Structure 1
Amino acid sequence: MTDAPNLNRLRYFTATVDAGSFTRAAERLGVAKTVVSHQVARLEEELRVTLLKRTTRKLHLTEAGRRFHERASVILRDADDAFGEAALGLETPTGTLTVTAPSDYGRTVVAPAIAEFLSRFPGLRADVTFDDAIVDLIDTEVEVAIRLGWLADSGLQMRRLGSFRQLLVCTPALAARATRLTNPHELRDMSWIGNRLLRHPLDWTFTNDGVDDRVVGQPTIMADKTPAAHACVLAGGGLSVLPDFVVASDIAAGRLVHLMPAWSLPEGGIYAVYPEARFRSARVRHFVDLLRDMEYRRSHRDAPLVR
């Protein structure tokens, strides 16, 4: 097995790629050009692979070089964080927090958490992505992903932050048409709004004191994601099942009504998911702790509003 290259050679290589030449990389690093080119050549020898194609005018990354540069950049960033945080007693967050979250939860919960986090640690920066696509944490520089629902065992490390309730909601005008109904299946002929992000967007089984009642709604509108479904519900387009963190403020303000609150749907989990075998920086640990505290406060604050 080939020994792992030392960090200095990784620095010479990434500096060369980022600068575009051995000369400019040497200037940035404060060493001779021959040192940089020699160290990159030694790195290729150790890896037994060509990372850079050299011409008289320009350097070009090979495909192997491109992949290696992506990984090397992450390794160096984490190493810098590790040394920096060790010098600061391992507890002071530094650098840039990279986080991804679903669009609905990101805008409702993560965005305020990021703002509070940066106010606590003014020297920090954040790089956030709110997207419903599942990001591959192994091949990206994302440090922590927030995921919701019922997670399969992926081999990744995770921490449960809390849970969310699924609520059947509609506008007060539509709710008035259902005042005499007592069971969820009686709502099947009303207008429903489906969310295509869900595996079964219109098939719901409610529970009340151990009794199950299933309803398959008739779709009037199919939305591509939760914010779109939420907007259609607010516009009076129909009934829909939405997470409590999305609709709690609407229910409190009277814009939406929680239908049949005696009947409940399964609760989903909220998780912080980490890449496997990556250094856990102080900024990630502190941010996840903050988000967990905010989840606790949110769940206790919103619970009376949605029952």
Structure 2
Amino acid sequence: MSNGQANLNRLTYFVAVVETGSFTGAADRLGITRAVVSQQIARLERDHRTTLLIRSTRRVRTTEAGQAFYYRCALILKEAEDAFGELAETAREPSGTLRLTAPFDYGTGVVVPAITTFAERYPQCQVEAHFSDQTLDLGDGRLDLAIRVGWLTEQHLPARLIGHFEQRLVAGLQWQSRTQGLAAPEALSALPIVANTALRDPTRWHFHHDALTRQSVTMTAPIMLDTTLAVREATLAGAGLAVLPDFVADPDIAAGRLIEVLPDWHLPRGDIHAVFPPARYRPARVRAFVDLLAQPPSP
């Protein structure tokens, strides 16, 4: 084994230890023995006279130098993976591991069914999905793709518009008698809401009825929650009115668990984007999954 090959292998071992949090986890991921991983990391630290990892009986964590080294190694290995992927593009068959992130609500309701279809269609692919209402960084090289719902803030990254969503004004069945006679948004201001603090202005709602008729209303929010699914649960429990995206609200409206309030008045429509890291090469698995996600839902 050449020194260059040995050094690249050590990078792979080191990254696996950091990402799994243990030598045993790294060995399991790589299909080698724990002893080999431990020996190679020790040689890496000895050759460069730097402590990269702090070992404990429960977990391995990085030193400050180790964390900085990890970020560089992860990028190097991702570039190497992309290079080999580009060589394999001649086959045009998606393969490898697709790593993506999406908001929890959209991920659960929309992305998971797409992942299931994708895995059935492309058996040579694996999918690692991270669902979080926090915006995960695409710049560290560990993700192939991010699904962003709503306002797109990463203007410096390549993105593709893959869909839209409508916002629904909804309430639990407990509010049916108080809302069914409402004629315009101005009548809403006396009613309590469950505010979603993930929105830019959670208590100020802007409606339009047609191109010329618009109304804005400021609401009172006794309850303010920071995730869409938490807002849904509070709304189902009768805590007040709420604004939910259609991919969350529509199944409950269809099942009779929620009612739509002022259905002839509309809130602003939002966009859904696929956002990509700043890489020149985009693997076939990424393109195939985004194409699948962008397809209109079946009637």
Question: Normalized against structure 2, the TM-score is what?
Answer: 0.79
Q: Which amino acid aligns with 2:297?
A: R
Between the two proteins, the alignment pairs up a number of residues equal to: 270
Percent identical among aligned pairs is 40
Shift in alpha-carbon separation, 1:68–1:164, aligned structure 2, 3 A: same
Q: Deviations over 1:93-129 (max 9, x none)?
A: 2221111111110111011111111111223221111
Q: d(CA) in 1 for partners of 2:179 and 2:63?
A: 64
Q: d(CA) in 2 for partners of 1:219 and 1:140?
A: 40
- What's the Cα RMSD here? 3.2
Give the CA deviation at 1:7: 7.6
List runs of 5+ in structure 2 lacking aligned partners. Answer: 18-22, 53-60
Q: d(CA) in 2 for partners of 1:79 and 1:168?
A: 48
1:160 matched residue in structure 2: 161
Give the CA deviation at 1:51: 7.7
Shift in alpha-carbon separation, 1:7–1:163, aligned structure 2, 3 A: farther
Shift in alpha-carbon separation, 1:238–1:15, aligned structure 2, 3 A: closer
1:130 matched residue in structure 2: 131
Q: d(CA) in 1 for partners of 2:184 and 2:136?
A: 39
Q: d(CA) in 2 for partners of 1:176 and 1:116?
A: 42
Any residues of structure 2 matched to 1:1-307 within 5 Å, and which? Answer: 8=5, 11-15=8-12, 17=14, 52-53=50-51, 63-84=64-85, 86-87=87-88, 89-209=90-210, 210-277=212-279, 279-293=281-295, 296-297=296-297, 301=299
Contact 2:103 2:147 survives alignment (8 Å): yes
Give the CA deviation at 1:282: 1.2
Q: d(CA) in 1 for partners of 2:5 and 2:294?
A: 38
Contact 2:163 2:273 survives alignment (8 Å): yes
Q: d(CA) in 2 for partners of 1:107 and 1:72?
A: 32
Q: d(CA) in 1 for partners of 2:77 and 2:157?
A: 22
Q: Deviations over 1:195-248 (max 9, x none)?
A: 121221111010112221111122232222100000111122211010001011
Q: d(CA) in 2 for partners of 1:204 and 1:51?
A: 60
Shift in alpha-carbon separation, 1:154–1:139, aligned structure 2, 3 A: same
Q: Which has the larger radius of gyration?
A: 1
Give the CA deviation at 1:82: 3.5
Q: Deviations over 1:243-266 (max 9, x none)?
A: 001011111122212111211111
Residue 130 of structure 2: SS of its match in structure 1? strand
Shift in alpha-carbon separation, 1:118–1:107, aligned structure 2, 3 A: same
Q: d(CA) in 2 for partners of 1:109 and 1:287?
A: 13
Contact 2:141 2:277 survives alignment (8 Å): no
Q: d(CA) in 2 for partners of 1:200 and 1:267?
A: 15
Q: Which amino acid aligns with 1:192?
A: I
Q: d(CA) in 2 for partners of 1:275 and 1:256?
A: 38
Contact 1:162 1:271 survives alignment (8 Å): yes
Shift in alpha-carbon separation, 1:179–1:16, aligned structure 2, 3 A: closer
Give the CA deviation at 1:86: 2.6
Shift in alpha-carbon separation, 1:90–1:156, aligned structure 2, 3 A: farther
Question: Normalized against structure 1, the TM-score is what?
Answer: 0.77
